[in-house]
Amino acid sequence: MYIMSGHKIISVLLVAAFFIFGFWPALDPCFALDWKRLHEEADRKNLPEALLAAEKHPGSIAELYMLGLVYLNLHKDKEAEDIFNRIIKSGPATVEARWGLAESLRRQHQPEKSEIILKEVMRLDPGFSPAYISMAYLKYINMDFNGTVRLALKVIQQGRGDVDLSNYVRAYTLYAGAKGMIAHYGGPVSKVINGMAILRNLKKAEELQPDSTAVNFGLGTFYLLAPPLAGGNLDKAEEYLKKAVTLDPLFVDACIRLAQIYKIKGDDKQYDYYIEKASEIDPKNVLLIDTLSGKCKFICVGRER
């Protein structure tokens, strides 16, 4: 009678887990992180602080994860990818690190790879809200605005107590932005119903986090794109978008919308400055390509040059 050794039994079980659950290595619930706290701490940390903490605690998954988050906040997406991969390869993988990898890939314009990982994360932990936010962005760039609304609304319905502040605020801005696009492409009734949801939700986000780049970008974009009768105001648009760029000089979408304001105003020098800045930061940015190509799926505004 053939008896398998302990190592062979473990190998068989691991292979079975791969085929049954569709991931490798297996996730260990003991390694679940207090992700809400870590996300909020990362928003308050600068890079030297995060690097020092990770160096002082080399075996801490939490400190490494927070370093990855800080890299994401600074648009150092490749560095973030390396950190999250390091966590995944170091031992039992965490849902949080897998999400971090997916978000890093999304930001580096690898949506297919990102989506595969995000679906896995959402299946493994339906309450992990950052994954829904990342997927909502993917839906948006694919022009599945109803999908964006559904995912953002799920995070909003989770409630502030179960979501970190920045992602909770992003949910409101994504919801508002997607409603705006639905209104833009819809008929008269859709324009009224969906259009009314835009400013209301952006204002909710502003109450929660007035210095959020996403909030200022969202409000600036609303005042830029909305017709005057619906609240459009070019001066307010410029004010909010300038603040967004000041808060985050590497935020490409805000640079592009600000450039569109100067296009309307006939200030070619400022228009060229912000378009060139956006191109230098991220030449693959979806809104940049959409604007320069003239396809304008995400709405272009301004005089013809």
166, part of any domain: no
pLDDT at 249: 97
296, part of any domain: no
The answer to whether 147 touches 139, Cβ cutoff 8 Å, is yes
pLDDT at 90: 86
For the cut 50, the answer to whether the pLDDT of residue 289 exceeds it is yes
pLDDT at 31: 54
Domain tally for the chain? Answer: 1
Q: How far is CA 276 from CA 45, 202, 269, 272, in A?
A: 30, 29, 11, 6
pLDDT band at 25 (very low <50, low <70, confident <90, very high): very low
Three-state secondary structure string covering the chain: CCCCCHHHHHHHHHHHHHHHHCCCCCECHHHCCCHHHHHHHHHHCCHHHHHHHHHHCCCCHHHHHHHHHHHHHCCCHHHHHHHHHHHHHHCCECHHHHHHHHHHHHHCCCHHHHHHHHHHHHHHCCCCHHHHHHHHHHHHHCCCHHHHHHHHHHHHHHCHHHCCHHHHHHHHHHHHHHHHHHHHHCCHHHHHHHHHHHHHHHHHHHHHCCCCHHHHHHHHHHHHHCCHHHCCCHHHHHHHHHHHHHHCCCCHHHHHHHHHHHHHHCCHHHHHHHHHHHHHHCCCCHHHHHHHHCCCCCCCCCCCC
For the cut 90, the answer to whether the pLDDT of residue 211 exceeds it is yes
CATH code of the domain in which 51 resides: 1.25.40.10
204, part of any domain: no
- Mean pLDDT (whole number) for 277-304: 92
For the cut 90, the answer to whether the pLDDT of residue 41 exceeds it is yes
75, part of any domain: yes
* Side-chain half-sphere CA neighbours of 149 within 13 A: 16
Instruction: Give per-residue pLDDT as tens, 60-79.
Output: 999 999 999 999 999 999 99
Q: Which domain holds residue 118?
A: 25-125
229, part of any domain: no
pLDDT at 27: 40
Instruction: Give per-residue pLDDT as tens, 221-277.
Output: 999 999 999 999 999 999 999 999 999 999 999 999 999 999 999 999 999 999 999
Q: Global pTM?
A: 0.88
273, part of any domain: no
pLDDT at 93: 62
Instruction: Give per-residue pLDDT as tens, 138-189.
Output: 999 999 999 999 999 999 999 999 999 999 999 999 999 999 999 999 999 9
180, part of any domain: no
For the cut 50, the answer to whether the pLDDT of residue 112 exceeds it is yes
pLDDT band at 9 (very low <50, low <70, confident <90, very high): very low
34, part of any domain: yes
Q: Which amino acid is at 101?
A: L
pLDDT band at 24 (very low <50, low <70, confident <90, very high): very low
